[in-house]
Structure 1
Amino acid sequence: MLRALDIRDMLIIDRLELAFQPGLNVLTGETGAGKSILLDSLGFVLGWRGRAELVRAGAEQGEVVAEFGLSSDHPAHAILDEAGLPGGDELILRRVNRSDGRKTAWVNDRRCSGEVLRRLSETLIELHGQHDDRGLLDPKGHRALLDAFAETDAQRAEVRMLWSAVGKARKGLETAEAELAAVRDEEDFLRHAVAELDKLDPQPGEEAELDIRRRMMQGAEKVRESVVRAHEIMGSGGAEGAMGDALRWLEGAMADTEDLLTAPVASLERALNELSEAVDGVERSLEALEFNPHELEQVEERLFAIRAMARKHDVVADVLGTFAEELRGRLAALDAGEGNIADLRAALNAAQADYDKAAEALSAKRKAAAAKLDAAVMGELAPLKMERAVFETSVRDAEAGPDGRDQVEFVVATNPGAPAGPLGKIASGGELSRFLLALKVCLTSDDSNVTMIFDEIDRGVGGATADAVGRRLKALADGGQVLVVTHSPQVAALGAHHWRVQKRVENEATLSEVVPLDAGARIDEVARMLSGDTITDEARAAARALLG
């Protein structure tokens, strides 16, 4: 509920403080007194786009402060939380417009953007009138209004969930089809590469082992030549044979030399034994250094094959086996791909069928509610002297989406047989006002948290019709808050709280002010609205009769 509005230096308002009340709040006054300025100022603090120049002439800046009371379940709390702004049961909006055009806004004394103000305003205020393109005249919001009337929250939640499931299933199918297409494009390569790798069958660490064996065999041939030459010199045809001959000669001479050769012979025997062991070791080394030249060719051939395969696939030789497994996995995916695609397509079809069923049920509920809404609006139009008018809630097929596949629009015909069309284009000014009022009466719930503002919605009507308009505005205000700007005495007389907007001249400057009216002042104001500038006793008597 809007509790207070404080306006400073806006257009022709220098300082204005208004305290609004629950129920029907009425603003009256002569044309040009400044009633529209109040709405412009309220729209400014709510972040609405309006006049470019709002600052009063000669002032450095204009400022508007609006105070709202919030219930614990008011939707504005969610917006405040999301924006990181302080909440509570009181919401104070403040916005400043400087003379150079700069605008600054605060919510509960915390700086915020104009976008946050606009989002909050959607939960706080509804403005209805002939030039209202944000509310009932905007076809984009008609489906939401019908859904609120039909109470489709549960059905729409189910449709949204199923729409999401359809999207996920479709994305999964598209991804799988793309992956399968990519694999199919390289199928020939995969099969050839896997066949090559399977034939080669490289093992982890094999390339390093082959390289070591190759190097050993390449070096063994040169080493063996030196060992063979050493063996020839050391063996029986060389040093070993010569030392054996020397030992036999010395042993033959020992008998004639007494002990002279004993020590040399012993040393020579020891040396001959050591040489014999050395020859045995060399012979064993020669056996170890023997290799098959064909084996070297085989090792080199496999080593080069493994290295060539690694270069071909741009991988390290040790991971060729892992790489082969990866390629086999891609081939398996290709072979299993068609079956997987079939499963995913079946899942998409099932999800789509579930969505279609839920969307169809939602459409049926909307169409049933549309018929009830049409009947309710038609019932409201008769007392408003529009019993020959036709109101219809059009529910047509539209592109499927998260909220179903219905396009909803309110269409009217002012007389039977006349062509029907959009609400804002077919009805004249007075007719449009009454259509909007009848529709709003039928759509408003008892627990509405929104303050409704009707800007001269009674224009073009009078007498019993104006009285019917006023009574419906009063009914809308019961348990809530309605502000109405009116020129109709019948409407003004039904208000619970009444203000008069008037002009005054101060220091040769024209200023607008708003005066709260007590019971006596209300009689005079309603009498003025009935008779014009000159208030007669008859007009006062008629005003008293209207005020009851």
Structure 2
Amino acid sequence: MLSEITVQNVALIESATLRLSPGLNAVTGETGAGKTLLATALQLLLGGRARSEVVRSGAERATMEGVFELSAGVLREILPAALGDLAEEVDPADGLVLRRVITADGRSRCYVNGVSVGVRALAALGERLVSYHGQREQARLADPAEQLALLDSFLEAEGREALKEHAALWREVEGARRELEELEASGEARLRELDFLRYQVREIEASGYSREEVERLLGERERLRNVTGLMEAAAAAVGALAPEEGGGALDAVSAAASELERASRMDAALGPLAERLGGASAELEDVLYELRAYLEELEADPERLEAVEGRLAELRGLERKYGGDVPGYLRGARERLRRLENADEETAGLEEKIARGERRLGELAEKVSAARREAAGRLARRVQGNLEGLNLGGTLFRAGLVPAEPGPLGRERVEFSIRPNPGEPELPVRRHASGGELSRIMLALRLAQREPDPSVTYIFDEVDAGIGGETATAVGARLRELGERCQVITITHLPQIASEASSHVVVSKEEVSGRTVTRVRRVEGEERRRELARMLSGRVDEVSLAHASNLLVSGGG
């Protein structure tokens, strides 16, 4: 659940901290006080689009921070999917603290437990943590894709598995169809590609190209180009070790070794040093021998240099033509050539794969359809029962399946429809339902879910649009019922709904030092009764206070 949200410099909110409770939380206040600003701030915190105008005038940045109380097990489940490799830097034992900073020029920075993340990661977490229902989001209920997704959330395990397998197999069959189309695209083009690929394969194979040869030739070319300098260096080294007139390094080391060997007979401590000098003398003799052999073999060879340059030019030409990885290109060309040369065989294989896949798709689509028919009936019954509790008892709700063009999600779409009054025609929700009806239908759908995720916070912004009286009382009672299963936040202007809440927050607007400031405070006891009285009649008097007391007694608050 969301336990606390802190907002600084968001529009009219200079600084506000909202502490929330489990169950139903009501946010109230006069029109224009800034109730929806809190929902906006929360949407921004959870990855909503940043706009510079949300930053309070005169401020450099707006800051939003939310503290979520979730078990370490839930965090270990949701963090990797949202954050990827960054999840390893977030310790689930620390809980979950999200923070977002938006600067006056519209830039933003996002953090999860102090770890900097991208806004998409924040949005992915937001989808998992909060389910927001405002007027715009409730309108999505009229979208056929949204209706199908809602219906599919009511499928039993067998239906969900069939749908999952159907979607995966559909993608596989579509891929095979594209491959078949490529093979059958143009016989002439295929023949031209065959000739071209054969030429390329022959050219690379005939060249005997290998990266090892290129490296070896580069070294040989460098040696041949610098043969004079190499001779001079090697000869100088030989002269330093053993000059013709004697007295070089080799003689000096040998003499030193002989002296130490003789002295070691008088002092055994010199023995190891004598052995080391003896070893150095032997090593120098080996070096001298190899240097002389190197000098004998080293000679200027313009013809060999020309041959090396020519071979390197040939190999470098292949690299420019086929890219740096010539062997890799050759492997790919051979594979493509094999496929084209065996096109008839591959075509038959793809046709068989598609036919087999289509048969299985038909079986799975029938399973999905059957599961959806069962789910549609179960969903309609549950929603119907909930609508009665929302003072829409005369409204008939139905989730009908309509044949559609086959696709990855099956071969039907769903159409939510309502009949507002007995004897009236049944009409699709998308064509008939008002904003208030959509809000209540969405609430009825949420209540119909067998087990709403307790780690998700549900926010209903103006779910009370266009209702009042007994309907408002009914909506409040059902919101409280949903709050018994998960955390719910409702932004409302109706006292019947606010009185059902276990926690009540008031948003107010005042002038401080010539500037308008929005304040947020939690109200209890008499202060809460006075807020309900204000909501009832616009003023606080004995009659409205008595009515507010009755609401608190009859409500859940």
Q: Give the TM-score normalised by the residue count of structure 1.
A: 0.67
The amino acid that maps onto 2:173 is: V
Partner of 1:326: none
Contact 2:52 2:105 in 1 (8 A): no
Contact 2:454 2:487 in 1 (8 A): no
Q: Does 1:355 align with 2:355?
A: no
Give the distance between the partners of 2:121 and 2:346, measured in 1 at CA: 48
Deviations 1:442-470 (A, max 9, x none): 13624343210011212322232222111
Deviations 1:460-516 (A, max 9, x none): 222322221112111111131000111222211111111111122211222111111
Q: CA RMSD in A?
A: 3.3
Contact 2:390 2:474 in 1 (8 A): yes
The amino acid that maps onto 2:161 is: A
Give the distance between the partners of 2:131 and 2:435, measured in 1 at CA: 19
Percent identity (aligned): 37
The amino acid that maps onto 1:108 is: N
SS at match of 1:516: strand
Matches within 5 A, 1:156-167: 156-167=163-174
Deviations 1:174-198 (A, max 9, x none): 46656987778999x9xxxxxxxxx
Give the distance between the partners of 1:487 and 1:119, measured in 2 at CA: 31
Deviation at 1:388, TM superposition (A): 2.6
Deviation at 1:39, TM superposition (A): 1.0
SS at match of 2:386: helix
Larger mean Cα displacement after TM superposition, 80-89 or 124-133:
80-89
Larger mean Cα displacement after TM superposition, 413-422 or 430-439:
413-422
Q: Does 1:94 align with 2:99?
A: yes
Q: CA separation of 1:413/1:131 partners in 2, compared to 1, >3 Å: closer, same or farther? A: farther
Q: Does 1:545 align with 2:553?
A: yes
Contact 1:129 1:457 in 2 (8 A): yes
Q: CA separation of 1:65/1:366 partners in 2, compared to 1, >3 Å: closer, same or farther? A: same
Q: Give the TM-score normalised by the residue count of structure 2.
A: 0.66
Contact 1:169 1:351 in 2 (8 A): no
SS at match of 2:470: helix
Q: Does 1:76 align with 2:84?
A: no
Deviations 1:121-141 (A, max 9, x none): 111111113232585454332
Deviation at 1:108, TM superposition (A): 2.3
Contact 2:382 2:448 in 1 (8 A): yes
Larger mean Cα displacement after TM superposition, 145-154 or 478-487:
145-154
Give the distance between the partners of 1:391 and 1:93, measured in 2 at CA: 39
SS at match of 1:360: helix
Which of 382, 394, 419 is the matching residue for 1:388?
394
Unaligned segments of structure 2, at least 5 residues: 196-336
Partner of 1:427: 433
Give the distance between the partners of 1:168 and 1:429, measured in 2 at CA: 42
Give the distance between the partners of 1:175 and 1:490, measured in 2 at CA: 65
Partner of 1:56: 56
Contact 1:528 1:539 in 2 (8 A): no
Give the distance between the partners of 1:115 and 1:42, measured in 2 at CA: 15
Partner of 1:410: 416
SS at match of 1:396: strand
Q: CA separation of 1:332/1:438 partners in 2, compared to 1, >3 Å: closer, same or farther? A: closer
Q: Does 1:116 align with 2:124?
A: no
Partner of 2:254: none
Partner of 1:38: 38
Contact 1:67 1:91 in 2 (8 A): yes
Matches within 5 A, 1:403-482: 403-416=409-422, 418=424, 420-443=426-449, 445-482=451-488
Partner of 2:207: none
Larger mean Cα displacement after TM superposition, 38-47 or 106-115:
106-115
Give the distance between the partners of 1:332 and 1:432, measured in 2 at CA: 55
Give the distance between the partners of 1:109 and 1:425, measured in 2 at CA: 47
Q: CA separation of 1:51/1:461 partners in 2, compared to 1, >3 Å: closer, same or farther? A: farther
Deviation at 1:415, TM superposition (A): 3.2
The amino acid that maps onto 2:534 is: R
Deviation at 1:342, TM superposition (A): 4.1
Give the distance between the partners of 1:438 and 1:432, measured in 2 at CA: 10
SS at match of 1:534: coil
Give the distance between the partners of 1:358 and 1:345, measured in 2 at CA: 20
Give the distance between the partners of 2:153 and 2:339, measured in 1 at CA: 53
Matches within 5 A, 1:457-536: 457-536=463-542
Larger mean Cα displacement after TM superposition, 143-152 or 13-22:
143-152
Give the distance between the partners of 2:467 and 2:346, measured in 1 at CA: 69
Q: Does 1:140 align with 2:145?
A: yes
Partner of 1:377: 383
Deviation at 1:344, TM superposition (A): 4.0
Contact 1:92 1:108 in 2 (8 A): yes
Contact 1:156 1:404 in 2 (8 A): yes
The amino acid that maps onto 1:515 is: R
Deviations 1:33-88 (A, max 9, x none): 11011111111111223765111122222111112233323553233442624332
Partner of 1:226: none
Give the distance between the partners of 1:332 and 1:68, measured in 2 at CA: 55
Unaligned segments of structure 1, at least 5 residues: 190-329
SS at match of 2:153: helix
Question: Larger C-alpha radius of gyration, 1 or 2?
Answer: 1
Contact 1:5 1:19 in 2 (8 A): yes
Give the distance between the partners of 2:421 and 2:127, measured in 1 at CA: 34
Give the distance between the partners of 1:431 and 1:2, measured in 2 at CA: 28
Contact 1:444 1:476 in 2 (8 A): no
SS at match of 2:154: helix
Give the distance between the partners of 2:115 and 2:339, measured in 1 at CA: 61
Which of 120, 131, 135 is the matching residue for 2:136?
131
SS at match of 1:100: coil
Contact 2:82 2:124 in 1 (8 A): no
The amino acid that maps onto 1:358 is: L
Larger mean Cα displacement after TM superposition, 425-434 or 140-149:
425-434
Q: CA separation of 1:132/1:83 partners in 2, compared to 1, >3 Å: closer, same or farther? A: farther
The amino acid that maps onto 2:547 is: A
Give the distance between the partners of 1:36 and 1:408, measured in 2 at CA: 32
Q: CA separation of 1:168/1:130 partners in 2, compared to 1, >3 Å: closer, same or farther? A: closer
SS at match of 2:8: strand
Contact 1:470 1:492 in 2 (8 A): yes
Contact 2:64 2:99 in 1 (8 A): yes
Give the distance between the partners of 1:133 and 1:462, measured in 2 at CA: 19
Q: Does 1:24 align with 2:32?
A: no
